[in-house]
Amino acid sequence: MRRLLLALPFALLPLAIAHAHEDHDHDHDHAHGSLAAHEHGAARVNAVLDGKALELELDSPAMNLVGFEHAASSDADKARVAAVRAQLEKPLALFALPKAANCSETDQELQSPLFGDQPAVDDDADEAGHDHSDIHAHYRLQCENPEQLKALDLGPLFKAFPATRKIQLQLIGPSGQQGVEATPANASITF
């Protein structure tokens, strides 16, 4: 039951994002007015704090993280994919959380066609026939002192993957739901 409650906000967030884009006329480079589209340089992070449980979800075009979207065939490409996967396996190095919150990882799931766990290419291709590959990371953390979680800082994520120029960040926490477009210069949101 608890997992269902934690999954529900993630299911509703795309609707909230789409609705927010309908309500506001942003002068940004959103493909078709929504981040649901595959857009190089843009990613999405969802964060839900429920009691001591913190769930983080990252969705990004592979281009932002790896630098390409094709199946890795050369040794250099395979090494790059392995290096990025190793970075993604350390969420506490990518998401800056206050040490006083005493958060530790309890579970993670990484998915991408580049990791060999899905077909080589996503079903969507743009008008020019280019294939798209995405990377999805889902983390569960246990925070012993959740009241110390004052902010979520994506600065380390931007630093690790500099091709990512903006992140649509949605957060559900004790003070409700909020969303921002984070950039390297403005990379945090308060809980």
**pLDDT tens sequence across 118-160:** 544 444 444 444 567 999 999 999 999 999 999 999 999 999 9
Residue from 154, 168, 71, 160 nearest 112 by CA: 71
Classify each residue of 66-82 as buried b or exposed e, where b means 16 or more C-beta atoms within 10 Å of its C-beta. Answer: beebebbeeeebeebbe
Computed on alpha carbons and rounded to an integer, the radius of gyration of the chain in Å comes to 17
- Residue range 43-66, pLDDT digits in tens: 999 999 999 999 999 999 999 999
Confidence of residue 191 (pLDDT cuts 50, 70, 90): confident
Give residue 12's pLDDT: 46
Residue 170 reports pLDDT greater than 50: yes
Position 108 pLDDT exceeds 80: yes
Say what percent of the chain tops pLDDT 70: 72
